[in-house]
Amino acid sequence: MNDAPIGIFDSGIGGLTVTHSLFECLPHESTIYFGDTARVPYGPKSPATVRRYSLEILEWLLSQRIKAVVVACNTSSAHAIETLQDHSDVPVIGVIEPGARAAVAATQGGPIGVIGTAGTIASGAYQRAIHDLSPATHVEQVSCPLFVPLVEEGWFEHPASELIAREYLDPLVAAGTDTLVLGCTHYPLLKPLLARVLGEQVVLIDSADETALAVRRVLSSLDLEAGPDNPANHRFAVSDDQQRFLDVGSRFVGERLSHVEVVPLG
Ligand code: DGL
């Protein structure tokens, strides 16, 4: 079981930021990534639809003999984490709790800002997770739906991205936010731009890195870590359009992707 892969899934390409962090943090682990590119984006969809899609992906990943599941998608984590945990016989780790924990550890008294898709923000999942850890901390939330297409265009430093970032982040600057949770798979690629707009004193919490650390803790506590001689093997699957995944995905994972399978679901 220890040499079995970790399953990772996302609504599309963005979860490769989490995959990249997992590669860095757990170099001996094998992975299977599933991106639901046929049905992306999840951000504007209803909680019930996101739960249904997420359960279909879970079922496919479990059929691949995985030892743990990482829900890289913030919107899926926000709407579906408990449902997925109830339906899985292996550990299911989402991105919300690790991000919230890191934000609470970093803040100097708040407020903590949270940015994400419309669905993640409307769910209030980050706010709840932060308040579970620190009930008195003030949380300011802003949905930033335009960031996803800007990142997929590769416009990390484009003047249009800066203009939009200033518009979205203005209320967070006005509120004196000292810590910002990047509550969406795509946002880590905007870190330099966001740091410039907010000011270098604001701590940016990258849920991808925090989740990789949480996965390491879970595997270690269950004695499920791969041995140092395990030849880490990485598979990638999507529900549609593998060429776009190959073209855009390398930006997210930081290396060229050479092969991706197509697995239609639903
Ligand atoms: N992966 C999604 C998330 O982290 C962003 C893209 C989408 O809306 O599906 O929330």
Q: Which atom of ligand 1 is nearest to the CA of 44?
A: 8
Predicted local distance difference test score (pLDDT) of residue 176:
96
Q: What is the domain count for the chain? A: 2
In this structure, which amino acid lies at residue 97?
Answer: E
Q: Tell me the pLDDT band of 265, cut-offs 50, 70 and 90.
A: confident
Q: Which atom of ligand 1 is nearest to the CA of 42?
A: 9
Residue 251 has pLDDT above 90, yes or no: no
Q: pTM of the full predicted structure? A: 0.96
Does ligand 1 lie within 6 Å of residue 41's CB atom? Answer: yes
**Chain-wide mean pLDDT for the chain?**
95
Q: Which atom of ligand 1 is nearest to the CA of 116?
A: 10
Lowest mean pLDDT among 114-118, 122-126, 129-133, 208-212: 208-212
CA angle 199, 201, 203 (to 5 degrees): 100
Structural domain includes residue 164: yes
Predicted local distance difference test score (pLDDT) of residue 247:
87
Distance CA 51, CA 47 (A): 6
22, 50, 184, 248: the catalytic one is 184
Q: Give the pLDDT mean for 23-50.
A: 96
Residue 266 has pLDDT above 90, yes or no: no
Mutation test residue for ligand 1: of 21, 33, 40, 45, the one with most atoms within 8 Å of CB: 40
Torsion of CA 151, 70, 218, 235, to 10 degrees: -100
Helix orientation angle between 242-253 and 16-25, rounded to the nearest 10 degrees:
50
Predicted local distance difference test score (pLDDT) of residue 248:
87
**% of the chain surpassing 90 pLDDT:** 89
Are 146 and 244 contained in the same domain? no
Does ligand 1 lie within 6 Å of residue 119's CB atom? Answer: no
Are 186 and 252 contained in the same domain? no
Q: Give the pLDDT mean for 110-128.
A: 97
* Burial label, 162 (beta-carbon count in 10 A; 0-12, 13-18, 19+): middle
Residue 120 has pLDDT above 90, yes or no: yes
Predicted local distance difference test score (pLDDT) of residue 57:
98
Predicted local distance difference test score (pLDDT) of residue 110:
79
Q: Tell me the pLDDT band of 55, cut-offs 50, 70 and 90.
A: very high
**% of the chain surpassing 70 pLDDT:** 99
Distance CA 115, CA 92 (A): 23
Q: Is 184 an annotated catalytic residue?
A: yes
Predicted local distance difference test score (pLDDT) of residue 207:
85
Are 196 and 116 contained in the same domain? yes
Distance in Å, CA 116 to ligand 1 centroid: 8
* Residue numbers of the domain that contains 52: 6-94+209-262
* 111: DSSP letter: P
Residue with tokens 């969406």: 184
Distance CA 59, CA 84 (A): 10
Cis peptide before 231 (omega within 30 of 0): no
CB neighbours of 176 closer than 8 A, spacing ≥ 6? 111
Are 84 and 214 contained in the same domain? yes
**Residues β-bridged to residue 262:** 238
In this structure, which amino acid lies at residue 127?
Answer: Q
Structural domain includes residue 101: yes
Does ligand 1 lie within 6 Å of residue 208's CB atom? Answer: no
Does ligand 1 lie within 6 Å of residue 120's CB atom? Answer: yes
Distance in Å, CA 228 to ligand 1 centroid: 33
For atom 2 of ligand 1, which residue has the closest CA?
A: 73
3-state secondary structure of 115: strand
Structural domain includes residue 135: yes
Residue 131 has pLDDT above 90, yes or no: yes
Does ligand 1 lie within 6 Å of residue 94's CB atom? Answer: no
CA atoms within 13 A of residue 240's CA, in its CB half-sphere: 9
CATH number at residue 10: 3.40.50.1860
Predicted local distance difference test score (pLDDT) of residue 257:
82
Strand order across the beta sheet in which 203-206 lies: 139-143, 112-116, 179-183, 203-206
Are 167 and 219 contained in the same domain? no
**Residues β-bridged to residue 180:** 113, 204
Q: Of 172, 190, 207, which marks where a domain is finished?
A: 207
Does ligand 1 lie within 6 Å of residue 151's CB atom? Answer: no
Does ligand 1 lie within 6 Å of residue 99's CB atom? Answer: no
For atom 1 of ligand 1, which residue has the closest CA?
A: 73
Residue 29 has pLDDT above 90, yes or no: yes
Note the residue count of the chain: 266
Are 213 and 88 contained in the same domain? yes
Residue 71 has pLDDT above 90, yes or no: yes
Does ligand 1 lie within 6 Å of residue 73's CB atom? Answer: yes
Are 220 and 174 contained in the same domain? no
Residue 58 has pLDDT above 90, yes or no: yes
